[in-house]
Amino acid sequence: MMDRALAMDNLYAGAVDRTLTDEQLATRARAGDTAAMEELYLRYRQPIFRVVYRSTRNLDEAEDIVQDVFLKAFERLHTFREQSRFSTWLMRIALNLCTDRARMRQRRQELLEREANHKLAWSHPDAPDPVETAQQNAFNEAFYTALNQLPDHHRQMIILRDLEEMEYEEIAQILGTSVGAVKLRVMRARRAFKAKLEPLLRAIGELE
């Protein structure tokens, strides 16, 4: 399924010069060039998906968000003023949508917990499959368990800086803030994250 989709994408993505920069493609896309849009989509689909998936840990939801990211981006291309890179602008849209989804998920989670308190046997749609969990790496499990316990702004910092290994300057551009502020946020996020991670690592025997 995945190979077929990629093959179809590669088949269609020949209508535009691939040596064009993102900004040139964005200019063409703004004029209605769908081939330029497609090229931009193919360039940034996977990077955006990776960040989103690390934030949501749900394949379907991550794909929905990726789709929304590109829909929003192409509809609002006229607001892209090329003061930052296209990838930065796109990442900002993705993070905002992730934040929105996280809020919705939190509300849904609260509702589910309330239902559980009323002894209703509802299955949690986002709960990991026990068999799959057993097969996953213990590190991964501990990491994402701790990550999901963080507030959204801390989680974004850990994903962007420690997982995606973005530069402080790039994160500052994405978030529209200064480099100093980003460093401070990363430091606080790591401190909070380690506090959540430490007992989990002790539980799996990784920390004495």
Partner 1 sequence: MPDALQAHVARCAQCQRALRLESAYQRVLRAVREAPTPACELPWARVQARLAARVVARRTPVWQRYALAGGLAAAFLVASLAWLTRTPVPTLPSDASTEASLAASVPSPAPPRALPEIAAPEGGAPPSPAPKHVASTQPAPRLNRPAQARKPALPATPAAQSPSFAQPTTPAQPTAQSTTPAQSDVKLGFRTSRLNPERGERIALSAYGISPNPSEMVEAFAFEALSGAEPFTIACLPLSQYELHNSNPQVEYLPIRYGTPSSLSSEGNTDDAIICSF
156 SS3 class: helix
Quote the least distance from Cβ 14 to partner 1, whole Å: 12
| Tokens 């799996």 -> residue | 204
| Tokens 């989990």 -> residue | 200
Binding string to partner 1 for residues 63 to 102, with x set by CB under 8 A, is what? x--xx--xx--xx---------------------------
Residue 130 tokens, joined:
């026990």
8 Å CB contact between 67 and 45: no
Binding string to partner 1 for residues 134 to 173, with x set by CB under 8 A, is what? ---x-xx-xxx-----------------xx-x--------
- DSSP tag of 158: I
Q: Which of 153, 130, 193 is nearest to 201 (CA)?
A: 193
Q: Is 13 one of the binding residues for partner 1 (CB under 8 A)?
A: yes
Give the total residue count for the chain.
208
Query: Binding residues for partner 1, per CB under 8 A?
Result: 1-2, 5-6, 8-9, 12-13, 34, 37-38, 41-42, 45-46, 48-50, 53-54, 59, 62-63, 66-67, 70-71, 74-75, 137, 139-140, 142-144, 162-163, 165, 190, 193-194, 197-198, 201, 206-208
